[in-house]
Amino acid sequence: MKSPASERGFSVQGLGEIAIRCRDIEAMTAFYRDIIGLEILADRSGLIFFSLPNGVAGHTAVLALFDESRNPDRPAPRSAGSTLHHIALTVTPQGQAEACRWFDEQGVNWRAEAFEWIGWRGVFVEDPEGNVVELVAAVERDD
């Protein structure tokens, strides 16, 4: 039986970009840089690009913040206007523990949830505009 990817001639290799339209670009930039720890790849006057690891075939994966004031005809949706549930960024189990410690030191509220069926543990925080960000790590499974 042929795989769907072989029938199509292509398959998704990874995540290329997450783009978020922002009402407060400064607060959002500070959160993703100072709290989450992403590195700014480029600052293009209201378009902030953070590099994400593990791009594919020379493509740099990014998290992009777009200042909504640059495109007033396309405002950032309010929470009820978006179907985005959350974004998840992968960390190591040790990195996840350090993130929880860091969040506590910075006064950032977080919650953890285990996903035993797949062997993950997620730590969830909210960015300044209410988007849920998960730091997900693999955990040892008992099977």
| Distances 59 to 24, 65, 136 between C-alpha atoms, Å | 28, 18, 23
Q: Are residues 96 and 64 in the same domain?
A: no
CA dihedral 24, 27, 29, 30 (to 10 degrees): 170
Q: Are residues 101 and 131 in the same domain?
A: yes
Please state the domain count of the chain.
2
CA-based nearest residue to 124, from 103, 139, 98: 103
Q: Is residue 136 part of a domain?
A: yes
Place of tokens 């206007």: 81
Q: Are residues 89 and 143 in the same domain?
A: yes
Note down the domain range covering 23: 12-71
H or E segment and range at residue 99: helix 93-106
Q: Are residues 64 and 89 in the same domain?
A: no
Q: Are residues 98 and 140 in the same domain?
A: yes
Strand, helix or coil at 2? coil
Alpha carbon distance 34, 32 (integer Å): 6
Place of tokens 């925080």: 125
At 5, the pLDDT band (50, 70, 90 cuts) reads low
Q: Are residues 108 and 61 in the same domain?
A: no
In the prediction, which pLDDT does 78 show?
A: 59
Q: What is the token pair recorded at 56?
A: 């594919």
The CATH number that applies at residue 90 is 3.10.180.10
Q: What is the pLDDT of residues 21-30, one digit of tens each?
A: 898 999 999 9
Alpha carbon distance 35, 57 (integer Å): 29
Q: What is the mean pLDDT of residues 15-38?
A: 93
Strand, helix or coil at 133? strand
Q: Are residues 57 and 28 in the same domain?
A: yes
In the prediction, which pLDDT does 84 show?
A: 78
Alpha carbon distance 99, 52 (integer Å): 17
At 117, the pLDDT band (50, 70, 90 cuts) reads confident
Q: Are residues 64 and 113 in the same domain?
A: no
Alpha carbon distance 29, 47 (integer Å): 10
List beta partners, residue 52.
61
